Structure 1
Amino acid sequence: MASEPGSSEQKAAHSGALAQTPAQTGSHARRPVRLPVILLWALPLIFLAVFFFWPLGTIFGLAGQAALGQGLDASILPEIWRPLGFTIYQAVLSTLLTLVVGLPAAYVFARFTFRGKSLLRVLTILPFILPTVVVAASFNALLGPRGWINLLLMNLFQLETPPVQVLNSLAAILLAHVFYNTTIIISVVGTAWEQLDPRLEAAARVLGASPLRTFWEVTLPLLRPALLAALLLVFMFDFTSFGVILLLGGPRFSTIEVEIYIQALQMLNLPLAGLLSAVQLLFTFLLAVAYSRLAGQRGVPLAPRVQGEGMRRVESWRERLAVGAVIVLLVVLLVAPLGALAARSVSRLEPNRGERPGGFTPGLTLAYYQELFINRRGSLFYVPPVTAAWNSIRYAGFTVVISLALGFLAAFSLARPARLNRVLDPLLMLPLGASAVTLGLGFILTYNRPPLDVRSFPWLIPIAHSLVALPFVVRTLQPALGSIPVSLRQAAGVLGASPWRVWREV
Structure 2
Amino acid sequence: MALPVAFFGLFFAYPVAAITARGLYSGGGWHFGRLLDVLGQSDIRHVLWFTTWQALASTALTLLLALPAAYVFARFSFPGKQVLRAVVTVPFVLPTVVVGTAFLALVGRGGLLDDLWGVRLDTTVWAILLAHVFFNYAVVVRTVGGLWAQLDPRQEEAARVLGASPLRAWRQVTLPALAPAVAAAALMVFLFTFTSFGVVQILGGPTFSTLEVEIYRQTSEIFDLSTAAVLTIVQFAAVGAILAVHAWTVRRRESALRLVDAAGTARRPRGVGQWALLAGVLGTVALLLVLPPAVLVQRSLDAPDFAYYRALTSEDGNVFLVPPIEAVGNSLEYALAATAIAVTIGALAAAALTRRDAGRLVRGFDALLMLPLGVSAVTVGFGFLIALDEPPLDLRATWILVPLAQALVGVPFVVRTMLPVLRAVDERLREAAAVLGASPWRVWREVDLPMVRRALLVAAGFAFAVSLGEFGATVFIARPDNPTLPVAVARLLGRAGELNYGQAMALSTILMLVCAIALLLLERIRPQSRTGSTGGTPVDRTGEF
Report the TM-score when normalising by structure 2: 0.77
Please tell me the residue identity of whatever aligns with 1:412. Answer: A
Q: Which residue of 2 aligns with 1:330?
A: 285
Where 1:113 maps in the other structure, the secondary structure is coil
Pick aligned residue for 1:467 from 396, 408, 419: 408
Q: Which residue of 2 aligns with 1:344?
A: 299
1:58/1:264 Cα in 2 relative to 1: closer, same or farther (>3 Å)? same
Q: How does 1:42-81 map to 2 (within 5 A)?
A: 42-66=2-26, 68=29, 72=34, 74-79=36-41, 80-81=44-45
Q: In the aligned structure 1, how far is the partner of 2:424 from the partner of 2:68?
A: 28
For each residue in 1:468-503, what CA deviation from the matched residue of structure 2 results, as whole angstroms up to 9, or x when unmatched?
A: 111111111111111122222222222222222222
Residue 354 of structure 2 corresponds to residue 399 of structure 1: no
For each residue in 1:5-51, what CA deviation from the matched residue of structure 2 results, as whole angstroms up to 9, or x when unmatched?
A: xxxxxxxxxxxxxxxxxxxxxxxxxxxxxxxxxxxx22111111000
Q: How does 1:354-503 map to 2 (within 5 A)?
A: 365-377=305-317, 381-385=321-325, 387-417=326-356, 418-450=359-391, 452-503=393-444
Q: In the aligned structure 2, how far is the partner of 1:69 from the partner of 1:202?
A: 63
Q: In the aligned structure 2, how far is the partner of 1:259 from the partner of 1:445?
A: 19
1:129/1:260 Cα in 2 relative to 1: closer, same or farther (>3 Å)? same
Q: Which residue of 1 aligns with 2:491?
A: none
Structure 1 residue 331, shift from structure 2 partner = 1.2
Q: In the aligned structure 1, how far is the partner of 2:110 from the partner of 2:318?
A: 29
For each residue in 1:413-454, what CA deviation from the matched residue of structure 2 results, as whole angstroms up to 9, or x when unmatched?
A: 222343224421221111112111111111001111355334
Q: Which residue of 2 aligns with 1:192?
A: 147
Q: In the aligned structure 2, how far is the partner of 1:215 from the partner of 1:470?
A: 37
Structure 1 range deviating more: 118-127 or 322-331? 118-127
Task: Show structure 1 runs of 4+ deviating over 4 A.
Answer: 67-71, 299-304
* Residue pair 1:221, 1:299 contacting (<8 A) in 2 also: no
Q: In the aligned structure 2, how far is the partner of 1:316 from the partner of 1:172?
A: 36
* Residue pair 1:195, 1:300 contacting (<8 A) in 2 also: no
For each residue in 1:314-361, what CA deviation from the matched residue of structure 2 results, as whole angstroms up to 9, or x when unmatched?
A: 22111110110011011100110001111122225xxxxxxxxxxxxx
Percent identity for Structure 1 against Structure 2: 45
RMSD: 2.1
Please tell me the residue identity of whatever aligns with 2:348. Answer: L
Structure 1 residues not aligned, in runs of 5+? 1-40, 154-161, 349-363
For each residue in 1:76-119, what CA deviation from the matched residue of structure 2 results, as whole angstroms up to 9, or x when unmatched?
A: 32334332222111111111111111111111011111222222
Pick aligned residue for 2:166 from 191, 211, 215: 211
Q: Which residue of 1 aligns with 2:63?
A: 99
Report the TM-score when normalising by structure 1: 0.82
Q: How does 1:141-220 map to 2 (within 5 A)?
A: 141-153=105-117, 162=118, 164-220=119-175
1:480/1:302 Cα in 2 relative to 1: closer, same or farther (>3 Å)? farther
Q: In the aligned structure 1, how far is the partner of 2:256 from the partner of 2:367?
A: 23
Structure 1 residue 140, shift from structure 2 partner = 1.6
For each residue in 1:126-155, what CA deviation from the matched residue of structure 2 results, as whole angstroms up to 9, or x when unmatched?
A: 1111122221221121112211222122xx
Q: Which residue of 1 aligns with 2:179?
A: 224
Q: Which residue of 2 aligns with 1:262?
A: 217
> Which one has a bigger Cα radius of gyration?
1
Q: In the aligned structure 2, how far is the partner of 1:434 from the partner of 1:118?
A: 34
1:379/1:172 Cα in 2 relative to 1: closer, same or farther (>3 Å)? closer
Q: In the aligned structure 1, how far is the partner of 2:320 from the partner of 2:347?
A: 43
Please tell me the residue identity of whatever aligns with 1:399. Answer: A
Q: In the aligned structure 1, how far is the partner of 2:241 from the partner of 2:233?
A: 12
* Residue pair 1:451, 1:457 contacting (<8 A) in 2 also: no
Q: In the aligned structure 2, how far is the partner of 1:100 from the partner of 1:430?
A: 27
* Residue pair 2:38, 2:230 contacting (<8 A) in 1 also: no
Q: In the aligned structure 2, how far is the partner of 1:289 from the partner of 1:199?
A: 34
